[in-house]
Amino acid sequence: MKNPGRKVGVFFLGDVKELASATDHCGVYRFAKGMMMARWMVLAAAAVAASGCTTTDGSSASTDTATASTSGGSARAILRTAAGAEVGRATAREAGGAIRISVEASQQTPGTHGVHVHTIGRCDGPDFTTAGGHWNPTAMQHGTQNPAGPHAGDLPNMTVGADGRGQLTMDLPSGTLAGLMDADGSAFIIHAGADDLKSDPAGNSGGRVACGVFEAG
């Protein structure tokens, strides 16, 4: 049997036309027409929510996950020992025109440790020298207490407690996230000893005990 109209919910468009022509009672026609419009509004709202398109007031009906996750720009480094054990992570995030570095470490020797951003995104064991020197795009000397410093990758010392855990958050003195994530990348390193914050080129902070390569996101 031929369908008298397109189905919308439990109504047919043809049903409404027939109902309007079959009666002079305006109330009946207005009721049927109102029900039809209500059904169309519900279906239209559902379609907008499902497709993620822009609504009539210009606002977005859904949020793009990839865009939200990269808003502001960020990078993360998983810190590992030369033996490959995961011992922490460092994140770099754009914040107020600066790069905010946050570090969380575990299984470290209690005491004070130098921590720095290094200029190459490689962490080959056993000594992690492939990470190069400190990130230094402005050609300064090392150390916040050095009149000719600091490097862009210089941070304060990180204090590790008796439980082997330490954390630190700081805005880098210079540089951009785009520069940090250039063609050869960058790495984050925890050193065995304390940084004296003034001796060039590395603050006499000892060997490199953990390293992680920064990756976008």
pLDDT score at 129: 97
pLDDT in tens, the chain (217 residues): 444 444 434 333 344 344 334 334 444 344 344 444 444 443 444 443 444 433 333 333 322 222 223 346 899 999 999 999 999 999 999 988 899 999 999 999 999 999 999 999 999 999 999 999 999 999 999 989 899 989 999 999 999 999 999 999 999 978 899 999 999 999 999 999 999 999 999 899 999 999 999 999 7
Q: What are phi and psi of 36, to 5 degrees?
A: -65, -45
pLDDT score at 174: 87
Taking the whole predicted model, whether its pTM rises above 0.75 is answered as no
Ranges of each domain in the chain: 7-51, 69-216
pLDDT score at 120: 97
Fold of 69-216: Immunoglobulin-like (2.60.40)
DSSP single-letter state for residue 60: B
The owner of tokens 């468009």 is 13
